Amino acid sequence: MKISIMTAAVAAIGFAAPAFAWNETAYAVQCYDETYVGPTYEYSKKLIKEAEYSYKHNKAGQLVKVYHPPVYEQIKTKTSRGYVLETPAACR
């Protein structure tokens, strides 16, 4: 019984396969190359620490005025999603 069911399944698959075969009269009309375009981002900055001056003593015993630049945090916001761009191309 099990063998007859297996035989029937194999026969059904074998007879159905020619229906899915490529049609020999078909041809390519247009070909496309796919190019991925990444998402775009908008950047802004947030001030964390303002610029400041401080005084330090160096090894020679001099008093030195030192500048410390401001510290910013960069904020990244996605403005558009990535997508696939299809451009017409020659068929290979």
**pLDDT digit string, tens, across residues 60-70:** 999 999 999 99
Nearest to 39 by CA among 77, 88, 73: 77
pLDDT of residue 16: 55
pLDDT tens digits, 41-61? 999 999 999 999 999 999 999
Residue carrying structure tokens 């558009």:
80
As a whole number of angstroms, the distance between CA 75 and CA 43 comes to 6
pTM for the predicted model, two decimal places: 0.49
User: Residues near 47 by Cβ (< 8 Å), separated by ≥ 6?
Assistant: 70, 71, 72
For the chain, give the percent of residues with pLDDT over 90: 64
Phi/psi zone of residue 61: left (φ > 0), alpha (ψ -120 to 50 degrees), beta? left
